Copies of this chain bind each other. A is one copy, B any other.
Amino acid sequence: MRFLHTADWHLGKKLHGFDLQAEQQAAYEQILKLALDEQVDAVVIAGDLYDRAIPNETAVKQLNSMLMDMNLTHQLPLLAISGNHDSAARLRTGSAWFKATNFYLNTKLSQAFTPIVMGDTQFYLLPYFEPFEARQYFEDDDLRTVQQAMVKIVAAMQATFDPDKKHVLVAHFFAAGSEHVDSETQVTVGGLNAIPVDLLAPFDYVALGHLHGKDALQAERVRYSGSPVKFSVSEATQTKGVWIVDTDPFKLTFKPLTPIRDVRVLTGSFEELTTPAFYQQQAQDDYLAVQLTDRRVIPNVMQALRAVYPHIIELERVNGPVLTNNPATKIDPNLDPMTLLAKFFEQTTDDDLTDQQQQWAQTALTAAMKEEG
């Protein structure tokens, strides 16, 4: 059995206001090509297909089209679960019909105990669940955490193990040892809900979703695939991709994906970053977290930088806050209003007020003073 392991597609997600639809589509096309080139027997999607419970219509169309493309057009068997970002009730629409074409989409805890048998493997598709669902399912009020629930869940799955088969768990939770980044919201930090990797030892492989970096967990047979696209600056240095998993003999191969626009941190002084000799060497179109080394006031800094780098997603002063109180920029507040305004204008724009501007300013100031008086 050979399958592709991906997760955390988060369709509908925006990156600091930028739509990622094209980026996610490009990643999908590569995933599909990999699945076909590698002749996998199935594609595993370990939760968070959507970014939110009520995705926008564009995201709905996009996911529907991807699933139809893989499963109906290319006859790829699909093994998927809902994640914490999905609405289980909404995502499950149509799933009763999907099985006929080997598309298994589990969104309820109760579905997790009937393994899907494909080739030499029993797949257990465990959707994201809350402890109360485990309490209901097992009729056990003592199950207060996901970890407690997982002890029972793994035992119940083991009871259905066919010893002649391999056993793969597909799940969406926070496994112990994982490393957090910014775009994984709603993860309980502190270990309360962390699943110890040891608990997952009965499985030949655990295909996880939830954390966005493939290296979040280094256990040999318990793996996050990570998201196919970078969703935050904290993921800037991660390599995105999917796992190709062979069950017999066991083999794990990471296949990287190439983004249209990378998410990167770009550090330098304003002058450096806006010098053609520098920026012409850059992929200017990338999503950039700009770290400015300057501390001086730079007029219209974001606008000026965006003229060169259109997809800036963050701007930070890495050497401390802008210096507005140094002698060069200090303005005596006791000056008369017109002089005060002229100095402020000069300081922020590096230009003097024109005669016309002076006239406007004077009119406005007179009006304001009349109102006050």
Among A21-29, A93-101, A229-237, A365-373, the one that faces the other chain is A93-101
- CB neighbors of B among A78-110 (8 A): 87, 89-90, 92-98, 100-101, 103
Picked from B60, B61, B92, B100, the residue with its CB within 8 Å of the CB of A97 is B100
B101 touches A97 (CB 8 A): yes
A93 touches B60 (CB 8 A): yes
Picked from B57, B68, B87, B93, the residue with its CB within 8 Å of the CB of A96 is B68
Shortest Cβ distance from A68 into B: residue = B96
Q: B residues within 8 A CB of A90?
A: 57, 60
Shortest distance in angstroms between A109's beta carbon and chain B's nearest beta carbon? 16
B72 touches A93 (CB 8 A): no
Shortest distance in angstroms between A256's beta carbon and chain B's nearest beta carbon? 31
Shortest Cβ distance from A71 into B: residue = B97
Q: Report the separation of the CA atoms of residues A97 and B87 in the bound assembly, to the nearest whole angstrom.
A: 21
Shortest distance in angstroms between A12's beta carbon and chain B's nearest beta carbon? 13
B72 touches A60 (CB 8 A): no
A188 at the interface (CB under 8 A from B): no
A64 at the interface (CB under 8 A from B): yes
A54 at the interface (CB under 8 A from B): yes
- CB neighbors of B among A31-61 (8 A): 54, 57, 60-61
Q: Report the separation of the CA atoms of residues A72 and B64 in the bound assembly, to the nearest whole angstrom.
A: 21
Q: Report the separation of the CA atoms of residues A103 and B54 in the bound assembly, to the nearest whole angstrom.
A: 25
Q: B residues within 8 A CB of A101?
A: 97, 100
Q: B residues within 8 A CB of A54?
A: 54
Shortest distance in angstroms between A97's beta carbon and chain B's nearest beta carbon? 4
Picked from B60, B61, B68, B87, the residue with its CB within 8 Å of the CB of A57 is B87
Q: B residues within 8 A CB of A57?
A: 87, 89-90
Picked from B87, B89, B98, the residue with its CB within 8 Å of the CB of A94 is B98
Shortest distance in angstroms between A101's beta carbon and chain B's nearest beta carbon? 7
A89-B60 in contact given A94-B94, A94-B98, A97-B97 (Cβ < 8 Å):
yes
Knowing that A64-B94, A68-B96, A94-B95 touch, tell me 20 more A-B residue pairs with CB under 8 angstroms.
A57-B87, A57-B90, A60-B89, A60-B90, A60-B93, A61-B89, A64-B92, A64-B93, A64-B96, A72-B96, A93-B93, A93-B94, A94-B94, A94-B97, A94-B98, A97-B97, A97-B98, A97-B100, A97-B101, A97-B103
List 21 A-B pairs, Cβ < 8 Å. A54-B54, A57-B87, A60-B89, A60-B90, A60-B93, A61-B89, A64-B92, A64-B93, A64-B94, A64-B96, A72-B96, A72-B97, A93-B93, A93-B94, A94-B94, A94-B97, A94-B98, A97-B100, A97-B101, A100-B100, A100-B101
A residues contacting B by CB (< 8 A) are 54, 57, 60-61, 64, 68, 72, 87, 89-90, 92-98, 100-101, 103
